[in-house]
Structure 1
Amino acid sequence: MVSSNFAENIAAENERSLSTLVRTIARFQGSFSLTLVCCNYASLRDAMLQKLRDRSTVEYQELVLETATKILHQAILNAVQEQPPKALIVVGIESVDAIDNLLAGANRSRDQFKQDFAFPLILWVTDYVLSKFSRSATDLKSWAPPPIQFTMPPDDLIIFLQQQADQAFANFDNFKLKDCEIESLENDWLNLAPALDQQLQASWQFIRGLVQSQKNHIDLAIKYYQHSLAFWQQNNQLEKQGIVCQKIALAYNRKAEFHRAEKQDYWQEARKYLQQSLDSFEQAQRNDLAAKCISELGEVLRLLQAWKELKILAQKALKMHIICGTPSQIAEDYGFLAEVALQNLEWEKACKLAELALAVLAQTGVSKQDTGLYLLLLAKGQRNLSQQSEAVNNLKTAKKIRDLKMMCSFI
């Protein structure tokens, strides 16, 4: 762990900062003053605000800015005009969509703050926001003394990182980390890394991969994923291996979208990692994760037109999804098998499989987009069976659901 003296020093500094904030709120009653409080982590901010509520003898008001806030002065005015507070703390500036415009506008209207707000105004910011103050709101910032700083103690930072790692692996499709916290963790990483065990370092690499993927920095995401994967493979942690491999495969699928000339190579990479992912989930007996992964692998095989392999996989997937899958997954399996039948010129079989897919979806009322795909497969089979009127009707219905480009590939 981190040196106890270092951790104690940070805790003491935070206590001094809290005392300074308490005095500031009490000292400037009845007049305008501006104070900037810098804290890079929401969890630490919330903890310090709770301590402030317990210690302050002045009843102050808190305002959380909405992400769509455009004018800081107006947002504050709306919050306080009915009953001016003794002090106001504003949080959430880092989450505003147009921070630069917000701060530039506040800088232009800075005299209105003095005229309209006869109370201490405390703006809670991050290092990221503070740097933008220096560029977009220099004059307004000059009204405030040096920012009051709150720093996350190293041990708390490690706990925070572990919590984020647990969330990332538990909900990897929807995991998000605030930009300000990402930047802070990146900055703290060099000092923090020696105190982390290898497992947490591997988890952090996975988080970095997720973040870069969300920013469409795909090559960098793959680099971080690979660093993470190496540890899980060395330590035979099958579930995490499967999750990271699945994310690497998704990254290669994204590369195929961006670089169409090389799509075949990227799909082959995605296929390789999805197969590794599926193998890992099955060995770990995580059938729920395997059920999702096998569908993704089937889609890649379809893109590669690997019909023989797709047939074998779809048959396996169907058995799996009947036990632990969803109606959409079952319908997709029938759809894969219908496409294989079409490629093998087995028209009647293709029609029956497409009808099975439609029947499954009809019982659940799920995605019309999927219904359109299976209607197209059915229509193609019917057309080759000389069932022209049925094929035309299904194509017309599908046309209302699928776009014209998709239609043309099947007609």
Structure 2
Amino acid sequence: MEKDSSQNQRNLRRLLMSVQASYGRLNLLIAICDNRRYRDELIGSYEKELTAKGTSCHRVRIDRQQPSLKQCLKDLVSQEPVLMSVGKPAIVTVLGTDELLGIRLNELKSAQEQFFFSAQWTREGLRDFKFPIVIWLTPEIATSLSQQAPDFWSWRGGVFEFSQSISVPINFSSATYELSNQVESAQENFTNANPVDLQKQIDNLLSQDPDSPLLASLYNSLADAYVNNIQYNQAEYAYRKALDLYERQLGERHPNVATIINNLAFKKF
């Protein structure tokens, strides 16, 4: 727990420094956390510190009906013109990506797919926003975003991962629990991805950012894809790569480590 807390504090300081170093210009900062309550505590912490230093802090939520980052930022700027004021430090925190379902229902694309598509093809349209943007994602959505919107992902100014100890009780409402189950079911779309495409994504990420916290999640997705293709030797290798990365990044007692060990045991490699 002490290791997790120390790493979280370092990442929070890194995030604050990145925000303060990019006032007056666009900077896409990716924050990753799979615990909503802890995420909100972190946001409150950095907003309190930045506000005390004269920074204008704003939050915006991705619209489920129109899941476009560019559109939600345009709507926010129209309501808060101070964001475009020269010389006034400002930051925008983007929430709601974890509420976008991956289930298509009666639509050609799911809300998640629409968000990824919009991010990939509207990157240039974000240049007008002269302020740092912190986009909060879950590990799964971060992995999917890097796969489906690689051009947008390449613009990131930093990735900051936060994890909460499993010893801390988390109370989910029934609605949140149901939504979580729907999102987890939606991740099957990515599990069924082509292993070749996933390996290319891993290779690209290794060449650009060999210390990326997303590599472990990508290796886990690659292993799942190999299992679906009945390529068990390759799956075992990918699971063990994910396990090694998770242990080094998060510690041996993190729930992600337990999940990988369970996968290895359950599939009897």
- Deviation larger for 9-18 or 54-63: 54-63
Larger radius of gyration: 1
Q: Equivalent residue for 2:95?
A: 91
Q: Equivalent residue for 1:29?
A: 23
Deviation at 1:9, TM superposition (A): 0.7
Unaligned runs of 5+ in 2: 84-89, 102-110, 188-216, 218-253, 260-269
**Per the alignment, in what secondary structure is the counterpart of residue 176 of structure 1?**
helix
Partners of 1:90 and 1:112 in 2: CA distance: 17
- The 1:96/1:177 distance shift into structure 2, 3 A limit, reads closer
Deviation at 1:23, TM superposition (A): 1.3
Partners of 2:33 and 2:257 in 1: CA distance: 19
Partner of residue 51 from structure 1, selected from 45, 49, 61: 45
Q: Mapping of 1:257-336 within 5 angstroms?
A: none
Q: Equivalent residue for 1:153?
A: 165
Partners of 1:181 and 1:13 in 2: CA distance: 27
Partner of residue 119 from structure 1, selected from 122, 131, 134: 131
- The 1:78/1:177 distance shift into structure 2, 3 A limit, reads closer
One-letter code of the match for 2:258?
N
Task: Please list the CA deviations of residues 241-276 of structure 1 after superposition, one character each: whole Å capped at 9, or x if unmatched.
Answer: xxxxxxxxxxxxxxxxxxxxxxxxxxxxxxxxxxxx
2:112 matches 1:110? no
Partner of residue 62 from structure 1, selected from 59, 64, 83: 59
**Per the alignment, in what secondary structure is the counterpart of residue 163 of structure 2?**
coil
> How much is the aligned-residue C-alpha RMSD, in angstroms?
2.9
Partners of 1:142 and 1:72 in 2: CA distance: 16
TM-score normalised by structure 2 residue count: 0.58
Deviation at 1:146, TM superposition (A): 4.1
Contact conserved, 1:106 with 1:137, CA < 8 A, in 2? yes
Contact conserved, 2:57 with 2:91, CA < 8 A, in 1? yes
One-letter code of the match for 1:18?
L
Q: Which has the higher helix share?
A: 1
Task: Please list the CA deviations of residues 75-103 of structure 1 after superposition, one character each: whole Å capped at 9, or x if unmatched.
Answer: 11011134142111101112124111212
TM-score normalised by structure 1 residue count: 0.39
2:178 matches 1:176? yes
Partners of 2:42 and 2:134 in 1: CA distance: 14
2:255 matches 1:188? yes
- The 1:181/1:26 distance shift into structure 2, 3 A limit, reads farther
- The 1:181/1:152 distance shift into structure 2, 3 A limit, reads farther
Partner of residue 113 from structure 2, selected from 95, 100, 103: 100
Partners of 2:64 and 2:118 in 1: CA distance: 16
- The 1:137/1:84 distance shift into structure 2, 3 A limit, reads farther
Deviation at 1:105, TM superposition (A): 1.6
Task: Please list the CA deviations of residues 182-223 of structure 1 after superposition, one character each: whole Å capped at 9, or x if unmatched.
Answer: 989xx927639xxxxxxxxxxxxxxxxxxxxxxxxxxxxxxx
2:65 matches 1:71? no
Contact conserved, 1:100 with 1:132, CA < 8 A, in 2? no
Task: Please list the CA deviations of residues 50-81 of structure 1 after superposition, one character each: whole Å capped at 9, or x if unmatched.
Answer: 11122223222111223223322111101113
Deviation at 1:181, TM superposition (A): 7.8
**Per the alignment, in what secondary structure is the counterpart of residue 88 of structure 1?**
strand
- The 1:190/1:135 distance shift into structure 2, 3 A limit, reads closer
Q: Which has the higher strand share?
A: 2
Partners of 1:61 and 1:41 in 2: CA distance: 21
One-letter code of the match for 1:135?
Q
Q: Mapping of 1:332-347 within 5 angstroms?
A: none
- The 1:84/1:112 distance shift into structure 2, 3 A limit, reads farther
Greater RCO (CA < 8 Å, at least 6 residues apart): 2
- The 1:92/1:151 distance shift into structure 2, 3 A limit, reads same
Task: Please list the CA deviations of residues 349-405 of structure 1 after superposition, one character each: whole Å capped at 9, or x if unmatched.
Answer: xxxxxxxxxxxxxxxxxxxxxxxxxxxxxxxxxxxxxxxxxxxxxxxxxxxxxxxxx
Q: Equivalent residue for 1:4?
A: none
One-letter code of the match for 1:8?
E
Partners of 2:112 and 2:6 in 1: CA distance: 32
One-letter code of the match for 1:125?
L
Q: Equivalent residue for 2:10?
A: 16
% identical equivalent positions: 19
Deviation at 1:32, TM superposition (A): 0.8
Contact conserved, 2:69 with 2:115, CA < 8 A, in 1? yes
